[in-house]
Structures are given as C-alpha cells and as structure tokens.
Amino acid sequence: MQLEGFISQSEYYLEKNDIDAVFEHNTKFHDYILEKSCNRRLQAILGSLMDPILRFRIMTLHYPGNSQAAIERHQRLVQALRNKDRELAKQIIAEDVTVGKEILLRLFDSQAKSQTKKPGA
C-alpha cells in the first residue's frame, strides 16, 4: 500500500529529527488519500485552502511530540482502511483534524500571551 511507504519515510526522517522531510511525506500521505477519495467537491474545497493548510500542518508537526503522534494516527488509519472499517477511519480523520486544531489554538494562545507581556505592547 502506497500509504505505508509515506509512513515509513516519515518514521525514517523523524528518527533523523528532520521535521521538514516528515512534513513532505505527511503531505504526500494526505494528498494521496484526497486523490483516491474521488470526492471532487472536497478536492476543490481543500485545494482552495491548501496554502493555509500547509502552513498550519508544518506548525503542528513541529509541535513537541506531534510528529510521532501523527505517524501513529496514520498507521491506525491505514489499518482501518485495510479492514474496511469506514467508521473507525472517519473517527481517526476527525481526531487528526481535532488534534491539529488544538495545537494551533495552543500556539496562537501562547503567542498572544507572549505579545501582551512585552514592554510597550
């Protein structure tokens, strides 16, 4: 399965602490799923949002521990797909989105707090 190759590459680069390469293979993983979904409407919507999605993805993958957690979620997703368990696959995808959102909110909150503590701000 092609998805497993993207996961293996992500694991390899995570061991080398090369998060930019993990990001590259993580993005290939997501792009492959989107392509194979054959959902033209979803492809159009996500295509129009791709720049911010990629910016947010790189931010979340640099968050401590999340690259490993993302790889683990992807492994679980591949297993759910292999088992043809659509409900579990949907849950894992929703979890992936939720984790990313929570990380971004933490990062933005932390940034806002650090800006309010600056003298003269």
| Digit-coded pLDDT (tens) for 21-64 | 999 999 999 999 999 999 999 999 999 999 999 999 999 999 99
> How far are the Cα atoms of 18, 70, 76, 98 from residue 95, in angstroms, in the given order?
24, 10, 11, 5
3-class secondary-structure state, position 55: helix
Which phi and psi angles does 93 have, rounded to 5°? -65, -45
| Digit-coded pLDDT (tens) for 78-116 | 999 999 999 999 999 999 999 999 999 999 998 888 888
d(C-alpha 90, C-alpha 92), whole Å: 5
Domain ranges for the chain: 2-114
d(C-alpha 88, C-alpha 55), whole Å: 27
